[in-house]
Amino acid sequence: MKPVFPAETRQERWALDADVRDPLAWCREAFELPVDAGGEPLLYLCGNSLGLLPREARNLVLGELDAWARRGVEGHLDGPRPWYSYHEPLLAPMARLVGAHPEEIAVMNSLTVNLHLMLTSFFRPDSGRWKILMEESAFPSDTYAVTSHLAARGLDPAEGVVLARPRAGEALLRTEDIEQLLSERGGEIALVLLPGVQYFSGQLLDMWRITRAAHAAGALAGFDLAHAAGNAVLHLHEWEVDFAVWCSYKYLNAGPGAVAGCFVHQRHGGDPAIPRLAGWWGNDPATRFRMHLNERFVPVPGAAGWQLSNPPILSMAPLAASLAVFDRAGMPALRDKSEQLTGYLESLVAGLDQGRIRQVTPTDPKERGCQLSFQVPERARELFNELRRRGIVGDFRAPDIIRLSPVPLYNSFHEIWRTGQALEELLRVP
């Protein structure tokens, strides 16, 4: 149900009281807030680009540096958190975040590297079915990955990408249009690759319906969850998604360039015949250290069989700190607060001149995460810069989109009220 915000919610006192009543207010203290040149906390609404530093991450990283200094190579197998198995405790909390079984999860590489690995395994073109369905205005890295796979297999990228587009005059994709496209052209399509949350508009796609439509058409379904993991409630296993990939530096708060995640449904994870690019860390642990004595690659069952290299410990430590906060708070409770915060920002902006600022993101909470994208037809960059001068950090996408993301882990209702006040004042100026 969409949150209702009566007139009194435009008053500062209401926002302050809402923060006092917030059962997740403790989460904010678990993160370090960016500050301006004078040391004052910034109002940070940019978790869709880079999440904030969990306080415990500093201790965990320093602990691993100390282990390295004291133990050297023996740190792989010795100490409170041996590096050899460091990734294993991350699998269960990550699985809870995306609605999967732990054996369906791997924490490894970066998002685009994982996407290339998944395309190698799950894009299986033949003479009749050889195209990939994507959305128009997909995140560039996804487009580059897909077109490079088509070209590497001797296929024409201009012909091999089928685009799902919004209807004329609209900014959002309609699920029924994707279903219709798959119904009409499914015989050509080998793979559907769509986002969980579209990065530009903030639209949360109906992954369950899309997966069903893809399978009904004879195609596989994969998703880029860069903007969905840690933002929306997901049920990847239940939805029977074939694979998914995501980064962990946005809503998962693991730091710039942090280690990424990957999901492979269990019906695929136990099939060693699936073609894949292999590395020693995906090999059966019972024989992994036979090194050159191994005659062939024997993948670990599950998503772990797609691992290439040993875990990047200094990148995983901040992720461990963040996942501990997610586990304590619980994704359903975070989602509930997210809908309240995002709905509150939406209500404040709705009272402004809609000729000067217009919401692009869906108005239905079930069709979005915490990001709201606003189109500002005139002087958008100037408005963005003025917000930044007031200590409000969002991000700008040319030519005229400002994205603001109230993250339930560390943003407050009072911060949203302040953002609404700033926008009202700035848009009042001719």
Give the DSSP H/E element, type plus range, for residue 55: helix 55-71
pTM over 0.85: yes
Mean pLDDT of the chain: 95
Same domain, 299 and 346: no
**Exposure of 291 by Cβ count < 10 A (0-12 exposed, 13-18 middle, 19+ buried)?**
exposed
Same domain, 277 and 390: no
> How many domains, the chain?
2
- Say if residue 1's pLDDT is above 80: no
Name the residue range of residue 340's domain.
7-22+330-428
Instruction: Return d(Cα 335, Cα 250) in angstroms, integer.
Output: 16
Same domain, 13 and 78: no
**How confident is residue 247, by pLDDT bands cut at 50, 70 and 90?**
very high
Same domain, 182 and 282: yes
- Say if residue 23's pLDDT is above 90: yes
Task: Take residue 394 and report the two structure tokens written for it.
Answer: 């969002």
pLDDT at position 44: 98
Same domain, 206 and 279: yes
Final residue in a domain of this structure, among 278, 300, 326: 326
Same domain, 196 and 293: yes
Same domain, 282 and 183: yes
Specify if 1 maps to a domain.
no
Same domain, 285 and 337: no
pLDDT for 388-398, tens place per residue?
A: 999 999 999 99
Contacts of residue 307, Cβ cutoff 8 Å, sequence gap at least 6: 106, 108, 279, 281, 282, 300
> Are the CB atoms for 182 and 217 separated by under 8 Å?
yes
**How confident is residue 430, by pLDDT bands cut at 50, 70 and 90?**
low
pLDDT for 177-232, tens place per residue?
A: 999 999 999 999 999 999 999 999 999 999 999 999 999 999 999 999 999 999 99
